Amino acid sequence: MRQRYMAALIAIENKLLKYSKPNNYAFFAELESAGQVALPSEYGEPYIITKRMIEDGRDQLVLRDTLDIPFPTRFLQGTADEDVDVSVALRLLSHANGADMRLTLVDGADHRFSDNACLDLIERSVEDVLNLAENSL
């Protein structure tokens, strides 16, 4: 579950920057009083950002310290993702240490990464990692 929250925190980083400018006191006031803020989303339901999630995210930032990944890892990133810039994926890849890490950039894919080609790529990537794990036993 923690990995899911980490992915969510990375994904909303740019959204928070858009809505949490120093002069946006309403953002901070709502976060403090209600414990959460609903940010607009182009994908349907708003992003619910909780104070606890932000605090936990600060404790779990993966780009602060060395990130050792001792297993095969596949990073998939759309070049049209307006929520997580390609530079974040490149920074994560260069920051992490692992023997078998790959970043695949998909031209034109957005943050949802949910068209048939992207879903097929996710499936192939998971199968690749599972096959590597089975062959290493």
3-state SS assignment for residue 86: helix
Q: What is the pLDDT of residue 1?
A: 40
Q: What is the pLDDT of residue 61?
A: 81
Q: What is the pLDDT of residue 120?
A: 97
Q: What is the pLDDT of residue 6?
A: 43
Kindly provide the b/e burial profile for residues 99-130, where b requires at least 16 CB atoms within 10 angstroms of the residue's own CB.
eebeeeebeebbbebeeeebeebeeebeeebe
3-state SS assignment for residue 105: strand
Residues of the chain with pLDDT under 50: 1-14, 17
Task: Take residue 131 and report the two structure tokens written for it.
Answer: 């096959």
Q: What is the pLDDT of residue 64?
A: 81
Q: What is the pLDDT of residue 24?
A: 65
The residue ranges of DSSP E strands in the chain, in sequence order, are: 36-39, 47-50, 67-68, 73-78, 96-97, 101-106
pTM: 0.69
